[in-house]
Structure 1
Amino acid sequence: MFDWFAFQTGATAFIIAFVAAVLFFVAFKFVYQLVTPYHERTLIREGNSAAAIGLGGALIGYVLPLASALSHTVSLPEFAAWALLAGVIQIVSFIVVSRLVYRALAARIEAGEVAAGIYLASISIGVGLLNAACMTA
């Protein structure tokens, strides 16, 4: 028999978690785009695939630990702390890669070099996977 009360309780928790995750996702995207020295929105509108790939990788790289935090935390404040840490790690990894490891990265992305976008996306997704895995401990 269907337990309506259990469903309502679960659905309410789902909606709260989903809304919180979407808000963190949007906030991350906003902050990430402030940190990058180029304007992804403009570049993507102009058809720059490198910018789209790089941003897409960063977003996926952030959502991976966000999903892990959703499944491993028991409260909204705990989830928020992990979500914030995941965003910081993702942004710091961009800063390290673009300013120390591969200094020409921003210029190459602005020039539309897809290889640079793929490289950035790969780093971002790799960092996100490691970040998500570390949250399971």
Structure 2
Amino acid sequence: MFDALLMSFLNGLPNLLMHYGTTLAILAAGIAIYVRVTPYPEIKLVKEGNMAAAISLSGGILGIAIPLAAAMSPSVHPVEILMWGAVALLVTLTVYWIADHLFKEIPKRIEEGDCAAALVMSAIKLATAIILAPAVAG
């Protein structure tokens, strides 16, 4: 019985690593795109200690990761993760872009360090992720 369990684990481990690695790569790409499309330099602001930028960036990262995790869950092949991950990323970044433009004052307030504005923007990002996750999971 132990041999069968060990073989099952050893056979499944490469798939786990491939799915996890694919999802992490999409997450990294998503974060790289996200920090380029935000109307303020979040990474720079975080390095300078801007707590509002850190809150907003954290919401953005989690907002991308949640639907990616949901896309990975039912996937049988890494190509499925790439397809649904790309869709999730596109929808997520589009919603962020729309939110930044609808609430023009919020990005400026985040850049100025306003944590209340950052919490609202993070809530928008996380709400988007929570609603999108089951949609990409099928």
TM over 0.5: same fold?
yes
Query: What is the DSSP-based 3-state SS (H/G/I as helix, E as strand, rest coil) of the residue aligned with 2:137?
Result: coil
Contact 1:72–1:135 (Cα < 8 Å) also in 2: no
Deviates more, 1:1-10 or 1:85-94: 1-10
Query: What is the DSSP-based 3-state SS (H/G/I as helix, E as strand, rest coil) of the residue aligned with 1:19?
Result: helix
In structure 2, what is the equivalent of residue 128 of structure 1?
Answer: 129
| TM-score (norm. length: structure 1) | 0.94
Aligned Cα root-mean-square deviation (Å) = 1.0
Contact 2:73–2:137 (Cα < 8 Å) also in 1: no
Q: 2:84 aligns with which of 78, 82, 85?
A: 82
Q: Which runs of 5+ in 1 are unaligned?
A: none
Q: Are 1:6 and 2:8 an aligned pair?
A: yes
Contact 1:70–1:79 (Cα < 8 Å) also in 2: yes
Displacement of 1:72 in angstroms is 1.4
Displacement of 1:135 in angstroms is 2.2
CA distance in structure 2 between the partners assigned to 1:30 and 1:93 by the alignment: 16
Residue by residue, what CA displacement relative to the aligned partner does 1:38-70 show, whole Å, maximum 9, x if unpaired?
111110011111111111111111111111111
Q: Are 1:106 and 2:107 an aligned pair?
A: yes
Matched length: 136
Read off the aligned partner of 1:40 and give its amino acid letter.
E
Identity of aligned residues (%): 29
> Counterparts in 2 of 1:44-55, with a 5 A limit?
44-55=46-57
Displacement of 1:108 in angstroms is 0.6
CA distance in structure 1 between the partners assigned to 2:123 and 2:80 by the alignment: 28
